[in-house]
Amino acid sequence: MMRYRFLIKGSAQELAWLNREASRGWLLSAIKGNWYHFKKVDQTYRLFSEYVPTEVATAMTEGQQLFQVLATVQVQKPDIQVVYTGTDEPALMKTPITPGDPQMRLQVALNLRDKALNTINVMIFVGVVGLGVAAYAMVNDDSGNSALAFFLYLLFMIWAVLRFVKVAKNLQTQIVKLRRDTLDYDGAWMPTMHVFLTSMLTDLDTETPTLASLGRWHLVGHSDKGEYWYDLQTLASEAEIAQSLKPCIPKTVQINVVSWLGLAPLGWFI
């Protein structure tokens, strides 16, 4: 059996899916690109995945291991391999799963997201060319068959593009979480959110881990009445910012977060 999935190699989401398939008797046998190959087995397996250097992965594949090596995937950025192992031994199946290095997971996720976006671009280009050919055939066909084919092709392209957009959005959600865990925002476009705090007695301590994980803080100004204005370059939403601020400020402080769009949406409708 083969299944096509756009998943971050070595991620918890991918591992959970592979273990669900294993519980149904389908054991991972190989991974080629985004195609996952499975074989039918009678035993119940539990799968594990980890990031290892290439030389270590070679030794794991060649040597006798407690866990059976099921598949390996070479990652170019960073230059590592994702090794997938499994076991049907009840004692070994209880081995706790520890998440891999967040920084490495972030690099793998960014690489996969770029591939997903490139795939979307290629699909849009091919789709537009195909629509042009189908439209030309429809104009020169009096039977009406070309019109039906054109309509079905259009629906298929819309479905395919929306599916890949959903995949890219899912990847981006995971990337945002990894960026916040690692505080690595290099190369990320971070919109500026405007945070207004009232009734503050002193400056906000933006160095606390909870607030520092949101992004880059900058104090714009404050008044004698305890009103503070901060600009925050972040990937978090207004609700996430407000939720993170609550434990760090007195309960009497009022929080107002204005998005990087400001009042622009109001102007669009006037």
Task: Please check the confidence at residue 60 and state whether its pLDDT lies above 90.
Answer: no
The per-residue pLDDT for 27 is 93
Same-domain pairing of 208 and 260: yes
**pLDDT, the chain, mean:** 80
Confirm whether 78 is domain-assigned.
yes
In the predicted model, is pLDDT for residue 264 greater than 70? no
Instruction: Indicate whether 48 and 9 sit together in one domain.
Output: yes
Domain that holds residue 233: 192-268
Statement: residue 160 has pLDDT above 90 = no
Q: Is 187 within a domain?
A: no
Q: Supply the pLDDT for residue 21.
A: 92
* SS3 track for 56-109: HHHHHHHCCCCCEEEEEEEECCCCEEEEEEEECCHHHHCCCCCCCCHHHHHHHH
Distance between first and last Cα of the chain: 56
In a shared domain, residues 20 and 93 = yes
Is residue 57 very low, low, confident or very high in pLDDT (cuts 50, 70, 90)? low
- What is the rounded radius of gyration, in angstroms, for the C-alpha atoms of the chain? 25
Average pLDDT over residues 239-256: 89
Same domain, yes or no: 16 and 59: yes
pLDDT over threshold 60, residue 64: no
Q: Which of 100, 122, 146 is the last residue of a domain?
A: 100
Q: What is the mean pLDDT of residues 159-178?
A: 79
Last residue of a domain, one of 69, 100, 131: 100
Question: Which pLDDT band, with edges at 50, 70 and 90, does 90 fall under?
Answer: confident
Q: Give the residue-averaged pLDDT of 235-245.
A: 88
Residue after which a domain boundary falls, among 100, 128, 156: 100
For position 269, what pLDDT does the model report?
36
Q: Do residues 142 and 205 both lie within one domain?
A: no
Number of H helices, E strands in the chain: 8, 10
Asked if residues 41 and 25 have their Cβ atoms less than 8 Å apart, the reply is: yes
Would the pLDDT of 61 be above 70?
A: no
Average pLDDT over residues 125-140: 76
| CATH code, 222 | 3.30.70
> Is there a single domain that holds both residue 136 and residue 206?
no
Does residue 108 sit in the same domain as residue 177? Answer: yes
Q: Which of 61-70, 106-115, 153-162 has the lowest mean pLDDT?
A: 61-70
Total structural domains within the chain: 3
Residue 45 lies in a domain: yes
Residue 56 shares a structural domain with residue 108: no
Tokens of 260: 């990087």
Q: What residues have CB less than 8 Å from 52, skipping those under 6 apart? A: 60, 80, 81, 83
